[in-house]
């Protein structure tokens, strides 16, 4: 694809105008929205309003606005997850949210000793599961991918038995972009009486999600990737309505109390999803999430997905045409129906190439150890032009040996 061809596609793109909603530096080809989405204009304004409110209204800010902020954001987020507003909670980080839900799931079935996950799941999610297994005397079963790219969904389902407490997987694998068949695995787990807990961090905002229709039990996810919430922005969690009353939040905090402002002596959990709240939410980090989610809600995930698929298909074609002969291998599923919105490329000098692209070429992919470059496509601001530029610059950096000065670089990526 030439730059001209890419620009014609961009000119015809029905989502093109959404790019103006983001504060992106001039000339930057940013393909790391799957790690940290950009600041939106609406997010910037929401943050400014919260800061101004703090300075002018002080404690009064809580009653005026902040106490309702988390539920306002949850209400905006819910349709992106295919969930009801009263099934979504926002606050805390993804690991802590995962801990709370996974601990609750393990606790209600003390005779079910096994937790099933796989090696494509986030290491961070696996750390949380290991911790719960250690605390409660459970066992984590890690199903291996056969090729390191595709999940072995058959093997995962084969591991699910009447001893399985719950299955915890990432809907889109952070490293390879593999997109799971959520309803089939969910159904299968339910037939064995197990619960499912999906991490949606790399899926929400770019892949259609129908938690209610799929009868998913539990889910978590972060808001700082395709949802543009900001660095370390509060994460969300989902608990299916009919499950809420049965699950216990191990971190019994006052924001999860049935009547938090009564400050009574004894804990009584909120009957709804709010029981999974613990402490006071971080307002300044929460404020831009509402604004960050807004463009995606307006565009609609179906349209976002359509453009995402077109972008990753074109990217994979260009990789095959230009980059494979330069030592790159595709580390993501080739079938777009099995792929999220990022594409991973293996290269022996992936770290040095990524450093050179960022430092000298104004192209920002990200690096995942040991040797993977991830190119994330966020269709509300990434254009076909960005895709072509990334291919061109990556090819040039390798062809010219421009990456060589970066070979001694140490990885350091959050």
Segment contacting a copy of itself (CB under 8 A): 47-55, 208-216, 317-325, 339-347? 47-55
Cα-Cα-Cα-Cα torsion 313, 316, 317, 322, nearest 10 degrees, comes to: 160
Closer of 2 and 56 to a copy of itself (Cβ)? 56
**72 contributes a contact to a copy of itself by CB under 8 A:** no
CB of 187 to a copy of itself, least distance (A): 28
Interaction residues for a copy of itself, span 95-134 (CB under 8 A):
95-96, 99, 103, 107, 119, 122-124, 126-128, 130-132, 134
- Residues 341, 394: Cα–Cα separation, whole Å: 19
CB of 6 to a copy of itself, least distance (A): 22
**184 contributes a contact to a copy of itself by CB under 8 A:** no
Residues forming a β-bridge with 379: none
Segment contacting a copy of itself (CB under 8 A): 91-99, 154-162, 336-344, 385-393? 91-99
Q: What length does the chain have?
A: 414
Interaction residues for a copy of itself, span 342-401 (CB under 8 A):
358, 364, 366, 368-369
Cα-Cα-Cα-Cα torsion 258, 291, 217, 128, nearest 10 degrees, comes to: -90
- One of 7, 19, 44, 150 touching a copy of itself (CB under 8 A): 44
Segment contacting a copy of itself (CB under 8 A): 48-56, 296-304, 311-319, 323-331? 48-56
CB of 292 to a copy of itself, least distance (A): 11
Interaction residues for a copy of itself, span 223-282 (CB under 8 A):
224, 230-235, 248-257, 260-267, 278-282
Does residue 345 contact residue 373 with C-beta atoms inside 8 Å?
A: yes
Long-range contacts at 133-136 (CB < 8 A, ≥ 24 apart): 135/103, 136/103, 136/106, 136/107
In sequence order, the 6+-apart residues with CB closer than 8 A to the CB of 96 are 235, 251, 278
Closer of 63 and 325 to a copy of itself (Cβ)? 63
Does residue 76 contact residue 290 with C-beta atoms inside 8 Å?
A: yes
CB of 108 to a copy of itself, least distance (A): 12
In Å, what is the CA distance from 1 to each residue of 30, 315, 390?
Answer: 19, 9, 12
- Residues 242, 87: Cα–Cα separation, whole Å: 10
**205 contributes a contact to a copy of itself by CB under 8 A:** no
CB of 102 to a copy of itself, least distance (A): 10
- One of 2, 27, 56, 302 touching a copy of itself (CB under 8 A): 56
Does residue 179 contact residue 158 with C-beta atoms inside 8 Å?
A: no
Segment contacting a copy of itself (CB under 8 A): 25-33, 150-158, 191-199, 331-339? 25-33
- Residues 399, 212: Cα–Cα separation, whole Å: 49
Segment contacting a copy of itself (CB under 8 A): 77-85, 92-100, 160-168, 184-192? 92-100
- Residues 103, 89: Cα–Cα separation, whole Å: 17
Q: Which residues are catalytic?
A: 122, 199, 224-225, 374
CB atoms within 10 A of CB 241: 13
């Amino acid at each position: 694809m030439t730059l001209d061809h890419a620009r014609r596609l961009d000119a015809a793109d029905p989502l093109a105008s959404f790019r103006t909603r983001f504060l992106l530096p001039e000339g930057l080809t940013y393909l790391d929205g799957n790690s940290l989405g950009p600041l939106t204009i609406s997010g910037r304004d929401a943050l400014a309003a919260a800061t101004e409110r703090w300075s002018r209204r002080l404690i009064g800010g809580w009653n005026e606005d902040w106490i309702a902020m988390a539920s306002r954001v949850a209400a905006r987020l819910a349709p992106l997850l295919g969930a009801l507003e009263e099934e979504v909670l926002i606050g805390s980080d993804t690991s802590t949210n995962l801990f709370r839900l996974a601990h609750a799931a393990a606790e209600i079935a003390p005779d079910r000793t096994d937790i099933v996950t796989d090696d494509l799941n986030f290491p961070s999610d696996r750390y949380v599961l290991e911790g719960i297994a250690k605390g409660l005397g459970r066992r984590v079963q890690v199903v291996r991918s056969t090729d390191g790219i595709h999940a072995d969904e058959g093997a995962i389902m084969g591991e699910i038995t009447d001893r399985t407490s719950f299955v915890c997987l990432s809907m889109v694998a952070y490293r390879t972009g593999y997109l799971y068949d959520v309803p089939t695995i969910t159904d299968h787990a339910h037939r064995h009486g197990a619960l499912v807990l999906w991490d949606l961090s790399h899926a929400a905002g770019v892949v259609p999600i129908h938690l209610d229709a799929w009868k998913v039990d539990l889910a978590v996810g972060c808001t700082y990737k395709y949802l543009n919430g900001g660095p370390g922005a509060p994460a969300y969690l989902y608990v299916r309505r009919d499950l809420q009353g049965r699950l216990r939040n191990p971190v019994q905090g006052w924001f999860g109390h049935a009547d938090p402002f009564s400050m009574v002596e004894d804990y009584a959990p909120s009957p709804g999803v709010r029981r999974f709240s613990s402490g006071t939410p971080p307002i300044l980090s929460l404020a831009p999430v509402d604004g960050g989610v807004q463009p995606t809600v307006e565009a609609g995930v179906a349209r976002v997905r359509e453009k995402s698929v077109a972008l990753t298909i074109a990217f994979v074609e260009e990789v095959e045409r230009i980059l494979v002969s330069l030592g790159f291998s595709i580390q993501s599923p080739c079938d777009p129906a099995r792929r999220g919105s990022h594409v991973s490329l293996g290269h022996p000098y992936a770290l040095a190439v990524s450093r050179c692209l960022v430092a000298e070429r104004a192209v920002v992919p990200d690096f995942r150890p040991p040797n993977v470059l991830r190119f994330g496509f966020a269709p509300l601001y990434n254009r076909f032009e960005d895709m072509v530029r990334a291919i061109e610059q990556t090819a040039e950096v390798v062809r010219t040996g421009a990456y060589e000065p970066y070979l001694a670089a140490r990885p350091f990526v959050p």
